[in-house]
């Protein structure tokens, strides 16, 4: 697949490679494999502990850095005035240069959100990232962030057929910014749902392609993780077909508020905010 076959959503490649929980040489090799296949969007984070391995993969991938789109995220432990800037500099050193997108990985306490958004914007202004955004922000938090930072790039969140993210998606659409879907196949659970497997069998496509197509067809960026070349190549084939409206609706009907698979303790009670 040529890279021109991967569309941009709000300037972000619609399909990228997630790198959690890849580490060390496996991470470096997977990044190079993905770029060789045609991926240009690579997602990492301070929390993953693999930024240096991603940086090595970028450096040895054979594609110019300005042709890639690299995302990283500031760890909650670094979301304070004393550590924020130094942590971002370390990330950029490990990645081999400024990021294309820098995110706050998890929302800080409500009384600290504005200060952290200001620190995030400051990193953009000093050239550490071309764009800045947030991750795991609720609708109310997202409105607050978009008001604080003009041109906010995205909100990276858990997004797959098993979870109903309709309110958050509507909020992002209203604000004119995209969602980026992490855990897009719900750690494999979404691939087993009868609605997905029926469509996959009828279209002679793997369930993973059906789920990822459902995501990007809504204007949401997907960043699945796989270290297997055949799976990474399969994921790229989601741009070869379109799901019918009835199939889109059938998959959308799966989601519930209880479908979340990733919910750390500090977010308890905040998801419906």
| Catalytic sites, residue numbers | 48
Residue 207, helix vs strand vs coil: helix
User: Where would I find the beta strands (DSSP E) of the chain?
Assistant: 8-9, 12-13, 17-18, 41-43, 69-74, 99-104, 129-135, 155-158, 179-182, 221-222
For residues 36 and 33, give the distance between their C-alpha atoms in angstroms, rounded to a whole number: 5
The answer to whether 55 touches 96, Cβ cutoff 8 Å, is: yes
34: phi then psi, degrees, rounded to nearest 5: -65, -45
* Residue for token pair 């799901």: 243
Any idea what DSSP says for residue 48? G
Number of Cα atoms under 13 Å in the Cβ half of residue 191: 13
């Amino acid at each position: 697949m040529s890279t021109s076959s991967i569309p941009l959503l709000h300037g972000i490649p619609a399909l990228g490679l997630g790198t959690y929980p890849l580490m060390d040489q496996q991470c470096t090799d997977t990044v190079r494999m993905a770029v060789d296949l045609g991926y240009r969007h690579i997602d990492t984070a301070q929390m993953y502990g693999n930024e240096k391995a991603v940086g090595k993969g970028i450096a040895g991938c054979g594609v110019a850095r300005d042709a890639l789109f690299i995302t990283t995220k500031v760890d909650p432990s670094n979301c304070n005035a004393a550590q924020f800037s130094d942590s971002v500099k370390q990330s950029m050193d490990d990645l081999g240069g400024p990021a294309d997108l820098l995110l706050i990985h998890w929302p800080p306490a409500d009384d600290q959100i504005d200060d952290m958004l200001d620190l995030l914007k400051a990193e953009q202004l000093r050239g550490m990232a071309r764009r800045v955004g947030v991750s795991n922000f609720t609708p109310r938090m997202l409105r607050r962030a978009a008001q604080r930072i003009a041109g906010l790039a995205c909100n990276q969140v858990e997004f797959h057929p098993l979870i109903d993210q309709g309110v958050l998606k509507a909020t992002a659409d209203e604000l004119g910014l995209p969602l980026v879907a992490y855990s897009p196949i719900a750690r494999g659970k979404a691939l087993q749902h009868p609605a997905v497997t029926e469509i996959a069998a009828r279209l002679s496509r793997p369930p993973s392609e059906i789920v990822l197509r459902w995501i990007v067809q809504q204007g949401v960026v997907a960043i699945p993780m796989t270290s297997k070349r055949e799976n990474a190549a399969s994921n790229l084939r989601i741009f070869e077909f379109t799901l019918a409206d009835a199939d889109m609706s059938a998959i959308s009907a799966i989601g519930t508020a209880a479908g979340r698979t990733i919910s750390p303790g500090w977010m308890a009670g905040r998801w419906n905010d």
